[in-house]
């Protein structure tokens, strides 16, 4: 009522503007005092939230959750100046088959995997999926870079001979075209062998690489293409819709009360354990979800699922093959009396078009063999390819085998819910 815009007379507006301004100052000062008081109260009160600490010991996490992947690459340079005769210590992959899956990849050769040992690749921080775009300053690119090097993060360690002069930086961006399938890849290998054979201490082998996130087009496009069974126009439509969704969806406000309730109830959480071959798991406590369903927006559950999915996929060792499993804990839920799948439908509606080919397995447990068919019918809205990744069981041995869990550990914890609490990594940091 005191806002100046509510009154037509100029003198009255001027007077109210002064009063309104004073009230705003008083309100802000009071809010600041309350905030500082609450900080003092929190700092003197034992808390299980690791995220609430003094500035001297920790930085409070942002209440806005950003997407864990961007289109911008990071730069990495490798120099063999310290050991010219050393091998890279990595297997390369050929990105020169002239197939649609390669159309967004800037390189003809990339790191397939690292070899064991104290190698140059490991010393320089090389990872699977890194794209080789230049050898000794000579570019071997499929297309021109989208960003200037000055605008990109450089991951290069302080290595002798790793820096490039201005002229070398220009030639590093050179495009190699007009080659048949396999010839550009052979040209990259040929240049590497040529430099190594010369054994010139003044001109040691130097590789320029670019590292792309798991959801950058370089790495995501092949997944979308598979999801649309090689149909390029359909896959292009799908990835464009996904990118529009991503731009609109993020950042997610973690302080929203409904979302906080989901996190606090551990209705959606994580199980992340070290395992060579199997990915981490998004954990869904269906009983807790149903308890929240009556007075909460289902979108809060979907957002929690997205936060954990993004977080776990970003941890994938190979950004070209990001994977996560899903575990639906049905302890205390009666499927025979009617399993509400409305929430799962909404989660699936966000997951299927935006995270294709990232699901390792979806395990539902415990589900007796008698109601297994019923559960399958209730999930008929899921596409056929995804259904093949479903494991519906009441056997803990099968659960542990599919997800890479230690059965003895699960039983020692007292069950899957307690096992989740032991192995979650981000639960408390998401609570504000």
Please report which confidence band the pLDDT of residue 50 belongs to, taking 50, 70 and 90 as the band edges: very low
Give yes or no for residue 170 having a pLDDT over 60: yes
Q: Which pLDDT value is given to residue 55?
A: 37
Assign 365 to helix, strand or coil.
strand
Please report which confidence band the pLDDT of residue 293 belongs to, taking 50, 70 and 90 as the band edges: confident
**pTM reported for the whole predicted model:** 0.82
The residue with greater pLDDT, 16 or 376, is 376
Q: What does the pLDDT average to over 388-398?
A: 94
Give yes or no for residue 8 having a pLDDT over 70: no
Give yes or no for residue 164 having a pLDDT over 60: no
Instruction: Look at 100-109, 291-300, 352-361 and tell me which has the smallest mean pLDDT.
Output: 291-300
Give yes or no for residue 379 having a pLDDT over 60: yes
DSSP secondary structure code for residue 360 in this structure: E
Alpha-carbon distance 163 to 364, whole Å? 52
Please report which confidence band the pLDDT of residue 38 belongs to, taking 50, 70 and 90 as the band edges: very low
Q: Which pLDDT value is given to residue 377?
A: 77
Q: Which pLDDT value is given to residue 102?
A: 98
Task: State percent of the chain over pLDDT 90.
Answer: 64
Q: Which pLDDT value is given to residue 159?
A: 52
Q: What does the pLDDT average to over 359-363?
A: 96
Give the tens place of pLDDT for each residue, 51-83: 333 333 456 778 999 999 999 999 999 999 988
Q: CA torsion sign, 279 to 285 to 290 to 291?
A: negative
Give yes or no for residue 41 having a pLDDT over 50: no
Q: Which pLDDT value is given to residue 215?
A: 98
Q: Which pLDDT value is given to residue 49?
A: 33
Alpha carbon separation from 40 to 27, 34, 35, 37 (Å, rounded): 20, 10, 9, 5
Give yes or no for residue 210 having a pLDDT over 90: yes
* Contacts with 399 (C-beta within 8 Å, 6 or more apart), sequence order: 327, 363, 365, 391, 393, 405, 416
Q: What does the pLDDT average to over 350-364?
A: 96
Give yes or no for residue 4 having a pLDDT over 90: no
For the chain, give the mean pLDDT.
Answer: 85
Q: Which pLDDT value is given to residue 281?
A: 95
Q: Which pLDDT value is given to residue 35?
A: 40
Select, from the ranges 283-297, 362-376, 388-402, the one with the highest average predicted confidence (pLDDT): 388-402
β-pairing, 131-135 vs 109-114, is antiparallel
Other CB atoms within a 10 A radius of the CB of residue 122 amount to 16
The residue with greater pLDDT, 49 or 232, is 232
**Helices 342-354, 298-314: inter-axial angle, 10-degree rounding:** 40
């Amino acid at each position: 009522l005191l806002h100046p815009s509510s009154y037509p007379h100029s003198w009255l507006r001027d007077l109210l503007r002064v009063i309104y301004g004073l009230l705003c100052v008083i309100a802000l000062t009071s809010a600041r005092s309350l905030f500082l008081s609450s900080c003092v109260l929190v700092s003197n009160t034992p808390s299980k939230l690791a995220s609430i600490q003094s500035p001297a010991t920790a930085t409070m996490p942002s209440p806005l959750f950003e997407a864990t992947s961007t289109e911008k690459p990071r730069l990495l340079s490798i120099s063999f100046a310290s050991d010219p005769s050393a091998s890279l210590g990595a297997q390369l992959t050929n990105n020169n088959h002239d197939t649609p899956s390669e159309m967004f990849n800037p390189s003809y050769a990339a790191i397939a995997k690292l070899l064991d040992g104290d190698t140059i690749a490991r010393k320089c921080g090389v990872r699977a999926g890194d794209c080789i775009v230049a050898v000794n300053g000579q570019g071997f690119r499929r297309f021109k870079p989208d960003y200037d090097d000055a605008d990109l993060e450089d991951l290069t360690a302080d290595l002798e001979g790793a820096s490039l002069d201005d002229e070398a930086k220009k030639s590093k961006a050179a495009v190699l075209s007009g080659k048949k399938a396999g010839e550009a890849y052979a040209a990259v290998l040929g240049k590497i062998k040529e430099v190594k054979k010369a054994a010139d201490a003044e001109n040691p082998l130097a590789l320029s690489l670019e590292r792309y996130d798991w959801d950058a087009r370089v790495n995501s496009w092949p997944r979308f293409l598979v999801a649309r069974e090689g149909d390029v126009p359909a896959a292009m439509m799908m990835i464009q819709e996904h990118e529009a969704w991503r731009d609109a969806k993020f950042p997610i406000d973690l302080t929203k009360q409904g979302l906080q309730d989901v996190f606090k109830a551990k209705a959606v959480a994580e199980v992340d354990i070290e395992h060579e071959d199997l990915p981490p798991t998004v954990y869904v406590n269906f009983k807790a979800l149903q308890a929240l369903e009556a007075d909460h927006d289902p979108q809060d559950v979907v957002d929690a699922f997205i936060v954990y999915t993004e977080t776990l996929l970003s941890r994938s060792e190979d950004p070209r093959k990001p994977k996560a499993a899903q575990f639906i804990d049905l302890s205390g839920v009666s499927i025979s009396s009617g399993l509400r799948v409305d929430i799962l439908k909404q989660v699936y509606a966000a997951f299927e078009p935006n995270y294709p080919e990232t699901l390792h397995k979806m395990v539902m447990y415990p589900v007796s063999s008698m109601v297994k068919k019923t559960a399958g019918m209730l999930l008929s809205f899921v596409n056929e390819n995804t259904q093949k990744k479903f494991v519906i069981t009441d056997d803990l041995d099968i659960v542990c085998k599919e997800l890479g869990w230690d059965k003895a550990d699960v039983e020692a914890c007292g069950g899957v819910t307690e096992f989740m609490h032991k192995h979650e990594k981000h639960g408390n940091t998401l609570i504000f």
